[in-house]
Structure 1
């Protein structure tokens, strides 16, 4: 009844288009993104309301999937929340009673703002107090929001209502939505309310998400008694694309990392996972770290003990360096840490073992093996380990760049190691591959983070050290002052400042003056004017 009413299109040309019309349903897009095993084909698939929210926010920096809800949890005005919650609850009751179009339009307009989590708990409380009827309209309305709406805020609120209604027939579709990080939190709440075995359902869903959704699910699995889930938490579940620091400590505790490492021998999967957890624990982050982890000294001691005979990856080399720095940190309160097992003798023994492992000659061979693949994903590891071993990888970086001139990482590594002797060759190569005319189209407020600005970011890498070589690469500086990307123009000013006016080419002052007259960014404009006055 509701669905037919809701989806009826406006046929009268004098009638305005309803806010949910003429755009695809989010649910259908996410369902089409699942493979035959119900795994997402594209992780964090862009949603159809992306541009609308992007424009509404007035900000070029877009939220990662699910991140906005996490931030909103900590920044709320209670008075505003209560007022909006009462308004929404009353609209929900009106829809449940009469299914009026005006009420649906009013509620949808509120939900389009995508701040549902801000007021959801309070809204649900008011809905319950109003004794809202599920039938004949509310269930159909909730299903329509969740499975037919084109806006994420409406979908989330529909999922919340379905969780409140608790019809198990909706759970399969809820899980389809939950396989996208943007909706996982709302799926979790609904699943807990609907499922006879929420733990198993959440675990299956947790394997499909990798960002904020993974974080939300894992934190709800920490009290599990299931040994398979415990093992997964420790070996895989802690990994996420936000920060491993969010989950490293709770997964180490829930999975009992200490017991796992006390084994005489462990496999490579466990060793790699332990290393990543330890790395997150010793890195100050947003959650509990090594100082809150009672098993920290034993876990690190056992990890290093296993590496005495198993160390064979660049990541392990880097982590051992980080552990060495951690154990010698002069700013740390080691007197206080003694109570947790960090004795001076233990630290000395660990540092001795670390030095012994890092001094092994086999690291050069391991580095060489990784570098034999120009397409390796371990580029930053190669850079760090080669620096530590004092191995020159300039030729390798140059070969990578020639193979892929759009690889900004290769541009960065080349410029970081640039010498005056090598610079002319690189600039000649850059003239062939960095499209300066396409870049110098006029100043704008672009941040330049998406794929359309790949070569603008390559130009940034080129400008990185150009200030150390006065007079070289002027055409790249000139193009950068006219780039739509703010960072390009800012780096061009830095280069000119580093060169000093004595090394400016004829026309540079006029170039900078013209650029300052049209510069839309206040900070960059100020730097341009300051440079002109020097």
Structure 2
């Protein structure tokens, strides 16, 4: 840097790879995105967590905090970063000051400073061109995520259409999508098309951040995409279902004379998400819900049955049933009509035939989906679940469903099956209080799925309960005590009380020990 000349150098800030280099490498290998999971291993990723620790990626924290928590601004960090920007933008930039900016920006969560930092730039009337250049310097040379995010914030405050390619490239990293999306919205004349391009490059929280900024769009291509694919994401479709239904105008699309399969399947998944409710607007917030759910049932009258469409039917049916019971704002006559329509559609043999066909092969890729549907259609499935468990003894969902749909005779058979298929001697491996995340805990979770359903079968599964009382997972020990507590006193043998007494003596979790002692006192 020459004295007296305002110019930013290209020297690296440290010896780590930059986020830009990482994004360029992913783009060269895999195209514009979405990129495979290797893209999520970022240049500043922390070392592997110690056993028992949980590492929550920043993209997840930013998503959760921006949607579900108030952001507490860090006034001190804002002032310090703004002072560095002031010094750099109004004086002759030095390498040391650039390094200080990168270091200070990297130390604070970007969400805690972004809005107030933009306000400070405006209040101090810092030169926009130089702030843009500083933003690009952080974005292009940054080796730590928060520094790069703040670079994108600066571009969003003072950038222009020339920054489009950089924003799209860095925004293709899910960690940075939120900040790139805001910057694109603030800098691009064709805001909708830029956001559309970014949204298609990501599939997790990044998809959510980008699609939320397409709310109210009027581009026919984007509206059609929202209804068929745009709402889909790796977090929860519930976050974007309402945006898609309203901004994509689902009702008008379903009234078209030729509704294509992709649109029908999109409608099934959108209505499923709206009916289930969750972290965003749901069916009760959707003005066109009543005519849309009616039209959906009509369209399925002569269309090919699939599990995806059946899931939509079942979820909407269940929603309508809840509305009947809870006093819905919908007119009672309309609710009764919808209820009849959905029940009639679901009694058509083609739906149960579809489910049973998938369940006939225990290796079917959609076996779990068919199992759930079978329960909603009240189809007997325990023998088919036994066949599944014979080839996959660690299928916790199969155990969970089987024991809860079993007759008393079937429950005894399932407990015998669990004793034969699960490594019971290895599961008396506690007590403890650990996170059961990872494949190594699959046997423990399978046992929990069975024991958790034994409260309905007095006297059944005692060998499983004995093992469960000594397991390393606290939740499983509690399930064992709860099962015994739910049985009539004469169904609990004295030896089972002795098991609980010995377990309580060494139980490390106070609440679980209290439950064990309460059970012993009650008997």
TM range (shorter): 0.7 to 0.9
Does residue 110 of structure 2 align to residue 111 of structure 1? no
Distance 1:512 1:532, change over 3 A: farther
Compute the displacement of 1:121 (Å).
0.9
Distance 1:311 1:161, change over 3 A: same
The total of aligned residue pairs comes to: 506
Q: Deviations over 1:425-460 (max 9, x none)?
A: 545554565445655444443221333422222221
Compute the displacement of 1:185 (Å).
0.9
Does residue 224 of structure 2 align to residue 231 of structure 1? yes
Does residue 279 of structure 2 align to residue 279 of structure 1? no
* Match of residue 447 from structure 1: 435
Distance (Å, rounded) in 1 between the aligned partners of 2:422 and 2:108: 40
CA RMSD of aligned residues (A): 3.8
Distance (Å, rounded) in 2 between the aligned partners of 1:423 and 1:508: 22
Q: Deviations over 1:358-409 (max 9, x none)?
A: 2222223222332244344444442343235443222221122222223222
* Match of residue 5 from structure 2: none
* Match of residue 320 from structure 1: 313
* Match of residue 175 from structure 1: 168
Normalised to the residue count of structure 1, the TM-score between the two structures is 0.80
Does residue 68 of structure 2 align to residue 68 of structure 1? no
| 1:135-174 alignment runs, 5 A limit | 139=133, 143-144=137-138, 148-150=142-144, 152-164=145-157, 166=159, 171-174=164-167
Distance (Å, rounded) in 2 between the aligned partners of 1:376 and 1:402: 14
* Residues 360 and 384 in structure 2, CA contact (< 8 A), matched pair in contact too: no
* Match of residue 4 from structure 2: none
Q: Which runs of 5+ in 2 are unaligned?
A: 2-8
* Match of residue 526 from structure 1: 514
Q: 2:257 aligns with which of 253, 259, 264?
A: 264
Distance (Å, rounded) in 2 between the aligned partners of 1:26 and 1:457: 38
Q: Deviations over 1:23-66 (max 9, x none)?
A: x65555555555533321229835566657978xx974846844
Does residue 404 of structure 2 align to residue 404 of structure 1? no
Q: 1:494 aligns with which of 482, 485, 491?
A: 482
* Residues 135 and 150 in structure 2, CA contact (< 8 A), matched pair in contact too: no
* Residues 441 and 483 in structure 1, CA contact (< 8 A), matched pair in contact too: yes
* Match of residue 499 from structure 2: 508
Does residue 40 of structure 2 align to residue 45 of structure 1? yes
Q: Deviations over 1:272-294 (max 9, x none)?
A: 21222233334444444444433
Distance 1:141 1:396, change over 3 A: same
* Residues 89 and 124 in structure 1, CA contact (< 8 A), matched pair in contact too: no
Does residue 80 of structure 2 align to residue 87 of structure 1? yes
Distance (Å, rounded) in 2 between the aligned partners of 1:441 and 1:31: 47
Q: Which runs of 5+ in 1 are unaligned?
A: 9-20
Q: 2:245 aligns with which of 223, 246, 252?
A: 252
Distance 1:59 1:123, change over 3 A: farther
| 1:291-440 alignment runs, 5 A limit | 291-310=284-303, 312-328=305-321, 329-333=323-327, 336-337=329-330, 342=331, 344=333, 346-419=334-407, 421-422=409-410, 426-427=414-415, 429-431=417-419, 433-436=421-424, 439-440=427-428
Q: Deviations over 1:435-494 (max 9, x none)?
A: 456554444432213334222222211222234556655554454444443322322332
Distance (Å, rounded) in 2 between the aligned partners of 1:368 and 1:286: 33
